[in-house]
Chains A and B, each alone.
Chain A
Amino acid sequence: MSDVSVDRIAGAAPRLPLRGGTVGAFKLGRLIPWLVLVIALGTWWFTGDTPEDILTYQEDIVYLGGQHIVLVAYAGGLALVTGIPAGIILSRPVFRRAAELVLQVFNLGSTIPTLAIIALCMTVLGIGTMPAVFGLWMATLLPIVRNTYAGLRNVPKMLIEAAQGMGMTPRQIFWRVEFPNALFVIFGGIRTALSICVGTAPLAFLIGAGGLGELIFTGIALDELPMLLAGIIPTALLAVLTDFVVGLLQYWLVPKGINPLR
């Protein structure tokens, strides 16, 4: 799972030509949960395990799935309420010089495997939900900050100049011009980030925060394929569902004039 999420960070394409390139890269990233799902279903088909074998874990799936969702909701929510403001602040002219440096540090941070981050969190913060949420938050934060920053920086200068010349205050320029025009790219970051978050959350089991990782890692340890699949398939489904929901929000919330999807 952690390999998958590293791939997806690479696919997030931070250097943004506003339209085509980004969309293409995100499409690639979006395929991955589907691929996992297809492979998992394929394995299931070939090994001849019946749905009943998997459904014996139904209670576990529901309980651990709930934990999984809670973990993702906390970490993702935290990443949203911190990442977007951070990206906005970095994109302000005052911080323009510091911004590149900060983003480089973020980039370096993203090369640390998520498993290592989770382990570090455990050594510092102990075990349980809180350190797991903290680790997931760190893994989720980067695409949101980066896309918010890049989206805002890529708003054409002439729009800001026109807005200034017509007498908008800096606040009005931000809310009426910059933010709406960056929204599509920001949403792209959120989509990637939340998919990563769902895909990384199984690692939380390793530091005692539960989640669908419990079925996956135990399944591996016991060489129990149905148990493994009972963890993998819901995880992949969750990732696909998250992406779908955020995609819908992106479709409807980004103004029509700048939404390549509409």
Chain B
Amino acid sequence: MIRLENLTKVFGMPGSGITAVDRVSFDLPAGEICVLLGPSGCGKTTTMKMINRLIEPTSGKIFIDGKDVTHIDPIQLRRSIGYVIQQIGLFPNKTVADNICVVPDLLGWDRRKSRARAAELLEMVGLQPDLFMKRYPKELSGGQQQRVGVLRALAADPPVMLMDEPFGAIDPINREVIQDEFLRMQKTLRKTVIFVSHDLDEAVKMADKIAIFRAGRLEQFASPEHLLSNPATPFIDTFLGSDRSLKLLRLVQVADAMLTAAIVRPGDPVARARELMHNNGQPAIVMLNGEGRPSGIVAASRINGQESAGRGSTAEGRCREVAEPVRVTVPVKADLRSAVALMFTHDMPVIPCVDEDGKLQGVLTYRSIVKSLANSKIAA
């Protein structure tokens, strides 16, 4: 969908100028989000602005849908590409509706059609149209402005969007919310998005492909999983940080890493639990109640402790007598990072994974997490 071929930009005189972008090539398939990532001054924004010809390349080519952009009138080109800037840049003299309809108005859409479109878009991000259409930007909160900024880029339904740190000027909590919102919209809209960011966490969360820049050069162009598990150069390795395997956790769903749970019933003898632990090497066994929901945890440390304390033949006891309450469960749709956080905070070596009804689907152990990380490395 978007293909860059040896794209180069030299500011100043050729030969003595500063090379901002140096022979960058990549090919982004339709419907994917590509995050251009790198330290400031690495050429990521320049690269983005060459795509809608706000900056003219020194050499190299850009194709959108197979068409060379230098053969398209820049004004027409820009109207066909959604554009979001970091400072949002809503026009303070226009209402929210007029702001959203800037491009439809430029394209000469029927006014009623474009305003209906604005209302529909506002609805999509949970802003009531009858409340917000007539407001001015100064009457919106930062988060609301940011949303309107994105809607404005979506208004004429362009297939391609350029977003320059669109969620940069917003507090971390709202940023997460807006990111999730955008990803949800993207699921149905399937836009091809070039997204500039300097935030690795944001990149890992949003991207289908990450392009890492350094001093104008494209260092690596890969999926987030591949990037985190196989950084191509020492620079990328440093840039990703020593906690990159933790970042990788975010990309794996609990459902893909959990083990089939060995279970006991409250009435089972403790010996049965011990046998199961011994067989599959897990430090604890989940106890299920009649509805298939976890009702307790039988931990190895507990059984062994009781034995050594000489409380008699616990081997003959029932599981319900030694089980600890379930302090926390994790939904199968969550990512591994939140599962690990829960395991640490609640000191649980085994954490039950449940579906929406609270029924047990499997368990996570530290070992299963390590194993799934190793697997994703091999797969990538």
Contacts and interface: CB of A to CB of B under 8 A. Distances in A.
Interface of A: 156, 158-159, 161-169, 172, 176-177, 180-181, 255-258
Contacts of A256: 136
A166 B103 contact: yes
Interface stretch (B89-97, B306-314, B331-339): B89-97
B251 interface: no
Contacts of B87: 156, 158
Interface of B: 52, 54, 74-80, 83, 85, 87-95, 102-103, 106, 136-138, 152-153, 162
A158 B91 CA distance: 10
A245 B102 CA distance: 33
B92 A165 contact: no
A166 B102 contact: yes
Contacts of A165: 52, 54, 78, 83, 85, 162
B64 to A, nearest CB: 14
A15 B176 CA distance: 40
Contact of B106 (A172, A255, A258): A172
A161 B106 contact: no
B77 A167 contact: yes
Contacts of A180: 93
A161 B92 contact: no
A161 B136 contact: no
A177 to B, nearest CB: 6
A161 B95 contact: no
A159 B94 CA distance: 12
B94 A257 contact: yes
B8 to A, nearest CB: 22
B72 to A, nearest CB: 11
Nearest to A180: B93
A159 B78 contact: no
Nearest to B103: A166
Contacts, number: 71
Contacts of B88: 158, 162
A164 B54 contact: yes
A159 B77 contact: no
| A158, A166, A181, A255, most chain B CB atoms within 10 A | A166
A257 B78 contact: no
Contacts of B162: 165
Nearest to A162: B89
Nearest to B138: A257
B89 A159 contact: yes
Nearest to B153: A166
Contacts of A161: 54, 85, 89
A167 B76 contact: yes
A166 B54 contact: no
A9 B76 CA distance: 46
B91 A166 contact: no
8 A-B pairs closest in CB distance: A162-B89, A257-B136, A167-B78, A167-B79, A165-B83, A255-B93, A158-B87, A180-B93
Question: Most chain-A CB neighbours within 10 Å: which of B75, B83, B92?
Answer: B92
Given A166-B83, A167-B78, A159 B136 contact: no
Contacts of A181: 91-93
A257 B103 contact: no
A158 B102 CA distance: 15
Contacts of B52: 165
A177 B102 CA distance: 11
B83 A162 contact: yes
8 contacts: A156-B87, A158-B88, A159-B89, A161-B54, A162-B85, A166-B78, A167-B75, A168-B102
Contact of A167 (B85, B91, B106): B106
A164 B78 CA distance: 8
A167 B80 CA distance: 8
Given A167-B80, A257-B91, 9 more contacts: A159-B92, A163-B91, A165-B52, A165-B162, A167-B75, A168-B75, A168-B102, A169-B75, A177-B93
Contacts of A257: 91-95, 136-138
B76 to A, nearest CB: 7
Nearest to A184: B93
A166 B93 CA distance: 17
Nearest to B74: A167
Contacts of B95: 257
A189 B310 CA distance: 94
B370 to A, nearest CB: 46
Contacts of B85: 158, 161-162, 165
B76 A159 contact: no
Residue in B54, B77, B80, B87 whose Cβ sees the most chain A Cβ within 10 Å: B87
Contacts of B91: 159, 162-163, 176-177, 181, 257
A121 to B, nearest CB: 40
B80 to A, nearest CB: 8
A158 B165 CA distance: 13
Contacts of A255: 93-94
A60 B100 CA distance: 59
B124 to A, nearest CB: 20
A168 B92 contact: no
